[in-house]
Chains A and B, each alone.
Chain A
Amino acid sequence: MGAQTETVDTQGMNYLVSLPRRVVTLYVPLAVFLFVLLFPFYWMVITTFKPNEELLSREGNPFWVINPTLAHIKKLLFDTAYPDWLWNTMLVSVVATFLSLLCSVLGAYAIERLRFKGSRYVGVSIFLAYLVPPSILFIPLAKVVFEMGIFDTRLALILTYPTFLVPFCTWLLMGYFRSIPFELEECALIDGATRLQILLKIILPLAVPGLISAGIFAFTLSWNEFIYALTFISSSEVKTVPVGVITELVEGDVYHWGSLMAGALLGSLPVAFLYSFFVEYYVSGMTGAVKE
């Protein structure tokens, strides 16, 4: 069956595929995929609203909730530092994203358009920097952060997140800048514009879709970041949502599944919400970086 589904994936010849065949080769596998991919989210939602008795009972139907309750969300918002974590995550993500975009715009423009000596090599090394994973950087970075005296502060995250955001954003923006015709710049140069004016008044307005793509992607990446936040932060009030939920809501052997799930759900909603508005930009950012 696997090979069969790959049949005619073109629009031109779809009419050749009969309906029963479409059901078996297309709708059934797609439905299974969607079910598996979405089930954990359904489970998050249903667990958030389940009272503890229902959570810890093997009787009845676990797929539905009989007496929905807001107790877990209430506990999360009023008895834990969760609102602080949300605020920290938001702050760190927004600032890190803007910082990265600023550096990336200037850098990408210089590499793509100023073509200074050695710009090719700089471009390649930016791509290589993109391939350096945080899991091999966090130990020495912890030392750097500690020596700079910003350990356990939001600044530590704001300054370290660009290590994985900047290479990505620069690479993406380089692709966008490349697609803007040189002639526009030459006209502006003849009219006496400086390079900075060209960048601000000609290149950036034309590269807005690229900026949005890079921005959305960078924001999501910072929101999802875990290992740096886990390593560089130890006080509860400066933790981010993913780290806070994992380290503070798990108390001993008794897992409060309801509030854990509520924490996971509320922490996922902002990115999911943002993503829903910018799906196309997000996808083009993700695939653009891969295709280059």
Chain B
Amino acid sequence: MNRLLNNRNFLGLLFMLPLATLLLLFLTYPLGLGTWLGFTDAKIGRAGHWVGLDNFEYLIGDAVAQLSLFNTLFYTIAASVVKFALGLWLAILLNRHVPLKSFVRAIVLLPFIVPTALSAIAFWWLYDAQFSVLSWSLMKMGLIDRYIDFLGDPWNARFSVVAANIWRGVPFVAICLLAGLQTISPSFYEAASLDGATPWQQFRFVTLPLLTPIIAVVMTFSVLFTFTDFQLIYVLTRGGPLNATHLMATLSFQRAISGGSLGEGAALATLMIPFLLAAIMFSYFGLQRRAWQQGGGDK
């Protein structure tokens, strides 16, 4: 027994046991089960039979599923681009000397730590068709002549949910990039400005290259979370109006849990995986290689 306990392989196995049990049972197994369910006609309360590619063929021809794919791509791309731009800007602002620096940083992160489902309720009320304070303010300023139907019109709804997602995601991007900015030594900027670099050049040739590895990771996570977003849409629109804001995640919930066809929902969820992998590959390796080209060293 004692000899076994000194064997690092046995001991390692012993230490890994709780973690491995939990993850294998509730993560790896469901992941496989989900893929398998996608090939069956399982319903809630009824085991399914193998139906081959039927679910996938149906979904590919299904107009709502196609629309949800478009919505998901639009949602992810629009929100991620803006989150990156605003997040980087906010990080740079926070990296400068401001009074109450740490307090400001702390409250900037609030939108990220508060439960999304709950802050989405605040947005729901802000987007209300009759009593929206946004419409009220715009009316008083004389910019519009009737209340905006934020969530009633397909494109308005799309932009509204993207705006809410951006609101929630900017703090995350900003705080992570800020952590990266703080590792850049001020002497680089001093050297650059002695060489006559303009502020834009300093940003372009000092800040950006040194920040690229962190940008790559942060944006990979940001894209991943945005692509698989569920809460915000579920609370704000439940996919409406006319399915205009249905993301793949919300549609698979609707088909599988509300509609009861587990197989179809699982197939839709499985269809997200290739896009997720592509997004990860693109943002991770794409940006990682740039870092390496610019002498970031390969890890």
Identify B171's interface contact among A27, A37, A231, A267, CB under 8 A. Answer: A37
CB distance from B131 to the nearest CB of A (A): 7
Chain A residue, CB-CB nearest to B13: A116
Contact: B121 with A246, CB < 8 Å?
yes
CB distance from B219 to the nearest CB of A (A): 10
A153 at interface, CB cutoff 8 A: no
Q: Which residues of B contact A257 (CB under 8 A)?
A: 125, 128
Most chain-B Cβ atoms within 10 A of its Cβ — which of A9, A134, A230? A9
Q: Which residues of A contact B94 (CB under 8 A)?
A: 30
A205 at interface, CB cutoff 8 A: no
A92 at interface, CB cutoff 8 A: no
The answer for the CA separation of A194 and B193 in the assembled complex, in Å, is 56
- Asked, given contacts A6-B207, A160-B26, whether A135 binds B269 with beta carbons under 8 Å apart, the answer is yes
Contact: A135 with B175, CB < 8 Å?
no
Contact: B117 with A290, CB < 8 Å?
no
Given A8-B96, A26-B93, A243-B117, 7 extra CB contacts under 8 A: A33-B86, A58-B130, A107-B20, A111-B12, A114-B8, A116-B11, A230-B234
Chain B residue, CB-CB nearest to A242: B117
Contact: A286 with B175, CB < 8 Å?
yes
Contact: B27 with A163, CB < 8 Å?
yes
CB distance from A58 to the nearest CB of B (A): 7
The answer for the CA separation of A38 and B122 in the assembled complex, in Å, is 11
Q: Which residues of A contact B187 (CB under 8 A)?
A: 12
Q: Which residues of A contact B121 (CB under 8 A)?
A: 245-246, 260-261, 263-264
Q: Which residues of A contact B269 (CB under 8 A)?
A: 135-136, 139
Identify A290's interface contact among B133, B218, B225, B230, CB under 8 A. Answer: B218
The answer for the CA separation of A104 and B114 in the assembled complex, in Å, is 25
A149 at interface, CB cutoff 8 A: no
* Consensus secondary structure, chain A interface: helix
The answer for the CA separation of A257 and B17 in the assembled complex, in Å, is 48
When each residue 1-29 of chain A gets 1 if its CB lies under 8 Å from chain B and 0 otherwise, what string results?
01111111111111000000000001101
Contact: A170 with B19, CB < 8 Å?
yes
Q: Which residues of A contact B12 (CB under 8 A)?
A: 110-111, 114-117, 119
B23 at interface, CB cutoff 8 A: yes
B266 at interface, CB cutoff 8 A: yes
Q: Which residues of A contact B170 (CB under 8 A)?
A: 33, 37
Q: Which residues of B contact A155 (CB under 8 A)?
A: none
Q: Which residues of B contact A110 (CB under 8 A)?
A: 11-12, 15-16
Q: Which residues of B contact A47 (CB under 8 A)?
A: 122, 125
Q: Which residues of A contact B235 (CB under 8 A)?
A: 246
Contact: B114 with A268, CB < 8 Å?
yes
Q: Which residues of B contact A104 (CB under 8 A)?
A: 19
A55 at interface, CB cutoff 8 A: yes
Contact: A242 with B118, CB < 8 Å?
yes
- Interface residue tally on B, bucketed by range: 35 or more
Q: Which residues of B contact A135 (CB under 8 A)?
A: 228-230, 249, 252-253, 269, 272
A202 at interface, CB cutoff 8 A: no
Q: List 6 A-B contacts (CB under 8 A).
A: A10-B186, A106-B15, A167-B23, A227-B230, A231-B253, A267-B118
B156 at interface, CB cutoff 8 A: no
- Asked, given contacts A114-B12, A116-B13, whether A13 binds B93 with beta carbons under 8 Å apart, the answer is no
B224 at interface, CB cutoff 8 A: yes
| A-B interface, 7 closest residue pairs, ranked by CB to CB distance from nearest | A116-B12, A110-B15, A107-B19, A10-B186, A242-B117, A287-B179, A133-B228
- Asked, given contacts A6-B200, A62-B136, whether A290 binds B176 with beta carbons under 8 Å apart, the answer is yes
Contact: B115 with A137, CB < 8 Å?
no
Within 8 A of A (CB), among B170-209: 170-172, 175-176, 179-181, 186-187, 189-190, 193, 199-200, 202-203, 207
Stretch of B62-70, B76-84, B101-109 at the chain-chain interface: B101-109
- Asked, given contacts A140-B37, A243-B117, whether A129 binds B27 with beta carbons under 8 Å apart, the answer is yes
Chain A residue, CB-CB nearest to B94: A30
B144 at interface, CB cutoff 8 A: no
Q: Which residues of B contact A160 (CB under 8 A)?
A: 26
Q: Which residues of A contact B234 (CB under 8 A)?
A: 226, 230, 246
Identify B34's interface contact among A41, A103, A139, A276, CB under 8 A. Answer: A139
Q: Which residues of B contact A38 (CB under 8 A)?
A: 107, 110
The answer for the CA separation of A133 and B221 in the assembled complex, in Å, is 10
When each residue 32-51 of chain A gets 1 if its CB lies under 8 Å from chain B and 0 otherwise, what string results?
01101110110110010000
Within 8 A of B (CB), among A244-292: 245-246, 257, 260-261, 263-264, 267-268, 271-272, 275-276, 279, 282-283, 286-287, 290-291
- Asked, given contacts A34-B108, A242-B117, whether A40 binds B179 with beta carbons under 8 Å apart, the answer is no
Q: Which residues of A contact B27 (CB under 8 A)?
A: 129, 132, 137, 163
The answer for the CA separation of A271 and B110 in the assembled complex, in Å, is 10
Identify A63's interface contact among B8, B34, B97, B133, CB under 8 A. Answer: B133
When each residue 133-170 of chain A gets 1 if its CB lies under 8 Å from chain B and 0 otherwise, what string results?
11111111111100000000000000110110011001
